Copies of this chain bind each other. A is one copy, B any other.
């Protein structure tokens, strides 16, 4: 069993680290919220650490799952960061969704200290993290990837190696780009159909039997119909990711017309008070404006 570290024990990181521990690995853990690290260490026989540096000092492979680019920079490159304690030959695997360019800079800074780095963002949200069914998209050195590959087994089922540094993030952001625009298309279409008198349940059935079928729509529509906006993936979180897509478009010189507009529509949903709700609550902006409720008639 390997000597591992895990940094960031939020909604995703906590169950991911727990799965590593339950698979029999030694895992040193740190989290911004100290209590979570203490709890996980106590309940699952992990090793509590006070700083990312301390985690790095005792791990061959350090996993990371934090909220944004600035946190990843702080946790890896900061005064108490991984870079201060990591051993030459160690590997840092960043499961956070952060900016491509900054991720590459982090990797380069670690490389200068003899530490390898992989960007390894995940999808599957909390249920996937808990059941060990995440999807990993990974960028970096393929030899390094192959070395750490077996360690991912307790956490995910689908593992995609996407190419050099940043490619895992590129693939993840592309996926979310398509998702966020499909969601806006669904909102427009479903409000139009409902306002026009078509029953939304029937409309969904028609979509599900057409080329317009989409995993996201099939999954989210029933929540909308039953007015259940419990957060699975929040508007604010996707808004942040759309910002990363646009940064990537800027870096690569690719205009992203729909995505630029979709970002402002997410901004609208935030302004209307839906920032902490599930992304499917974005439909409420258009519903409220048009006096429509996308739900089957009683």
Contact = CB atoms under 8 A, between A and B. Distances in A.
B163 A198 contact: yes
Interface string A209-233: 1111111110100000000000000
Interface-centre pick from A135, A263, A267 (highest chain B CB count, 10 A): A267
Interface of A is mostly: helix
A196 B170 CA distance: 7
A243 B175 CA distance: 23
A250 B175 CA distance: 23
Contacts of A249: 192, 267
A209 B254 contact: no
A30 interface: no
A253 interface: yes
A93 B234 CA distance: 40
Copies of this protein in the assembly total 4
A207 B175 contact: yes
Interface string A148-171: 000000000010101110110011
Contacts of A7: none
Contacts of A190: 174
A271 interface: yes
A70 interface: no
Contacts of A179: 210-212
Contacts of A195: 252-254
Interface string A252-294: 1111111111111101101110000000000000100110100
B254 A271 contact: yes
Given A171-B198, A174-B203, A248-B192, A182 B185 contact: yes
Interface string A92-127: 000000001000000000000000000000010000
Given A171-B203, A185-B178, A212-B175, A271 B290 contact: yes
A191 interface: yes
A189 interface: yes
B198 A170 contact: yes
A191 B178 CA distance: 12
Interface of A: 100, 123, 135, 137, 158, 160, 162-164, 166-167, 170-171, 173-179, 181-182, 184-186, 188-193, 195-199, 202-203, 205-207, 209-217, 219, 243, 245, 248-250, 252-265, 267-268, 270-272, 286, 289-290, 292
Given A196-B252, A213-B214, A256-B267, 9 more contacts: A100-B196, A162-B199, A167-B196, A170-B197, A188-B254, A260-B260, A261-B261, A271-B290, A272-B289
Top 7 A-B pairs, shortest CB-CB distance = A181-B185, A170-B196, A213-B215, A255-B267, A174-B193, A211-B215, A260-B264
